[in-house]
Structure 1
Amino acid sequence: MDLTLWIAAGLLATVALVGGISKAVIPKAKLGAQHGGEWTRDATPGFIKTLGLLELLAAFGLILPAATDIAPVMVPVTAACWIALMVGAMITHGRLGQYGFVLVNSVYLAIALLITWGRFGPWSFGS
């Protein structure tokens, strides 16, 4: 199960890294023109960049604390924060009728739940 949790964290970190880079680097107009980016119409550029920064921090927080053995408890904390971010994403996409994105976000949420449960519970880094 430890390997499964590492793979799940790596997968989620990759998703967070790609999403974070795109939100931090790609201009709002270009994001809004892409399918799934319609939510940016009502968002300020600062809000979009902040979400990107949070996703970048999540990408690092899901891997680096455990890999360096510096505050490994931050891995499940980061996964729990990712759950909150995915709930917001699901609500946002649901309001726009983008149920495919709601489904994708629910998969990411489930992976984050697995990491949170596993790393706070029976497969924590301290045990």
Structure 2
Amino acid sequence: MNVTLWIIQIILAAGFVFSGWMKTIRIESSKKTWAWVNDVPKSLVVLIGIAELLGALGLILPWALNITPVITPITAIALAVVTLLGMLFHISRKEYREIGVNLFFIALALILIFGRL
């Protein structure tokens, strides 16, 4: 079970690193890839990206270093909430194509939360 949870942690962290990177460092590319980025203040997009990058660290480092490992499932809860809010935002904009990715990451986060608590 531990190996499975580590795989989930790595997949989640990689997804949030990619998403956070696109929202902070590659914001111009994000505007071409995601239509919603053009309709939201740049500072909010960057803030979400920073939260995702920090969340990716919180998924891996506490458990890997055995320093307050309870932070890992707490981080997964926070990222699941961020993803849920993003999904609701996409639904409000009728961007249904984006919802599948959100559901996938919420499901992985829930598995991680219950597996690590």
TM range (shorter): over 0.9
Aligned partner of 1:47 in structure 2 is 44
CA contact (8 A) 1:8 1:115 kept: yes
TM-score, normalised with respect to structure 2 = 0.94
CA contact (8 A) 2:22 2:29 kept: no
Aligned partner of 1:33 in structure 2 is 32
CA contact (8 A) 2:79 2:109 kept: yes
Picking from 64, 74, 77, the partner of 2:61 is 64
Q: State the Cα RMSD in Å.
A: 1.2
Aligned partner of 1:14 in structure 2 is 14
Q: Distance in 2 between matches of 1:103 and 1:31?
A: 18
Q: Judge which range, 92-101 or 111-120, deviates more.
A: 92-101
Aligned partner of 2:111 in structure 1 is 114
Q: Percent identity?
A: 32
1:63-89 CA-to-partner distances (Å, cap 9, x unmatched) read: 000111111111000000011011111
User: Which protein has the bigger helix share?
Assistant: 2
1:78-115 CA-to-partner distances (Å, cap 9, x unmatched) read: 00001101111111111222222101110100000000
SS at match of 2:45: helix
Q: Distance in 2 between matches of 1:14 and 1:33?
A: 21
Structure number with greater Rg is 1
CA contact (8 A) 1:39 1:92 kept: no
1:19-68 CA-to-partner distances (Å, cap 9, x unmatched) read: 111111123x542222xx11122311111111110010011100000111
Aligned partner of 1:124 in structure 2 is none
* Unaligned stretches of 5+ residues in structure 1: 121-127
Q: Alignment length, in residue pairs?
A: 117
